Amino acid sequence: MPTALITGITGQDGLYLAELLLGKGYEVHGIVRGQNNPKRDLVAEVVPEVTLHTGDLTDLSSLMRAMSATQPDEVYNLGAVSFVAYSWDNARVTTDVTGNGVLNMLEAVRLFCGSDPTRTRFYQASSSEMFGKVQEVPQRETTLLWPRSPYGVAKVFGHYMTINYRESYGMHASSGILFNHESPRRGPEFVTRKVSMAVARIALGLQDRIVMGNLDAQRDWGFAGDYVEGMWRMLQQPAGDDYVLATGETHSIRELLDIAFSHVGIEDWSDRVGQDPRFMRPAEVDQLIGDASKARDRLGWRPTVGFDELVHMMVDHDLSVLRAAR
């Protein structure tokens, strides 16, 4: 039975990945930070078979302890300060966790592997946010990186450090450059979930309006369940490499609002949506659209959930949660 260690197990992707790996017969371990993290209960509820270990990406010794306790065949480094807007006001902690945390995890894996550098395969959660200022459309593995946020800069560091460890030490290290992926498990601070929760509340008469930031930004949104499958496929290849995972379609925040409101029978949402500078960013990534042809050709990976279906899934989920609580 192969063994996997996941950082960021309490997050959206960590839970989907744990479910996927358990379904494939893996023994799954996760690293959870903090002395009394309430999300331990969430992991215990969703994936009770997972064994949790205390650790923090900023603490190398805790990562080394987790490596030696679990002896993993595969490590998925999903842990990060992941909210881009937060990263401007918290640039240092974002750098420490999202950037230097990758170096710590790579170093823990390298030291554990000793004279057999491919003993443990490593996945780094890189991001389309690294592309930042648009240089090329669609964006692919070779597109020039021009990050526009402290989060994006930290991810670029982690991305190149992963490539550097692969090239310097011969490690089986892969970097997945994933475009936005969402689900009913998405954190409420991200735009899709913020909209799905608010639209569900508005539909049930529990709220009048939603206040948003930039409605013109465009994102390439897919379903998180599809993207964790791509992560796993990367680590099943004979050697580590870098791959874009994306749908190849882009939509604006306005289109997201159109589809979500229309799903609950509201065609004109103009008086339901306000805008506030507090949700605008000091620098915006205007348009993301990914070219996942390398992942399609080499991994046989394809997204299965379209944008309308994804938005409907999230609104329906939030409606059912609210109805059940009534």
- Residue 227: active-site member: no
Closest among 174, 293, 269 to 231, alpha carbons compared? 174
Q: Which stretch binds ligand GDR (CB under 6 A): 20-28, 169-177, 187-195, 236-244?
A: 187-195
> What one-character-per-residue DSSP string does 1-61 give?
--EEEEESTTSHHHHHHHHHHHHTT-EEEEEE-SSS-THHHHHHHH-TTPEEEE--TT-HH
Catalytic residue among 62, 82, 127, 128: 127
Has 129 been annotated as catalytic? yes
Q: Which of 26, 151, 165, 243 is catalytic?
A: 151
Q: State the CB neighbour count (10 A cutoff) for residue 325.
A: 6
Is the preceding peptide bond at 138 cis, omega within 30 degrees of 0? yes
> Given the complex with ligand NDP, which of 149 and 203 has the nearer CB atom?
149
Between 60 and 217, name the residue whose CB sits nearer to ligand GDR: 217
Work out whether 224 is an interface residue with ligand GDR (CB under 6 A): no
Of positions 65, 281, 296, 317, contacts ligand GDR by CB under 6 A: 281
Token pair 């205007």 in the structure block, residue:
286
- Please spell the DSSP secondary structure of 72-86, one letter per residue: -SEEEE--S---HHH
Q: Is 127 in the site for ligand GDR (CB under 6 A)?
A: yes
12 CB neighbour count, 10 Å cutoff: 23
82 binds ligand GDR (CB under 6 A): yes
Contact 292/301 with Cβ under 8 angstroms?
A: yes
For ligand GDR, the closer CB: 47 or 253? 253
Note the Cα 40 to chain centre separation in Å: 19
Shortest separation between residue 148's beta carbon and ligand GDR, angstroms: 10
Token pair in block for residue 4: 């996997």
* Strand, coil or helix: 244: strand
Does residue 251 bind ligand NDP (CB under 6 A)?
Answer: no
By the 10 Å C-beta count (0-12 exposed, 13-18 middle, 19+ buried), 274 is classed as exposed
Binding mask 112-131 for ligand NDP (x = CB under 6 A): -------------x-x----
Stretch that binds ligand NDP, among 54-62, 140-148, 192-200, 254-262 (CB under 6 A): 54-62
The catalytic residue among 26, 27, 123, 129 is: 129
- Judged by CB under 6 A, does residue 306 bind ligand GDR? no
Which CB atom, from 61 or from 208, has the smaller least distance to ligand NDP? 61
274 makes contact, choosing from ligand NDP, ligand GDR, none, with CB < 5 to 8 Å by partner type, with none
**Contacting ligand GDR (CB under 6 A), which of 86, 160, 169, 190?**
190
Q: What is the DSSP string of 252-294?
A: EHHHHHHHHHHHTT-S--TTTEEE-GGGS-SS---B--B--HH
Interacting residues toward ligand NDP by CB under 6 A: 7-8, 10-14, 33-34, 37, 39, 56-58, 78-82, 97, 125, 127, 178, 180-181, 187
Tell me which residues are annotated as active site.
127, 129, 151
Which residues are at the interface with ligand GDR (CB under 6 A)? 82, 84-85, 127-129, 179-180, 189-191, 194, 212-214, 217, 219, 253, 279, 281, 284
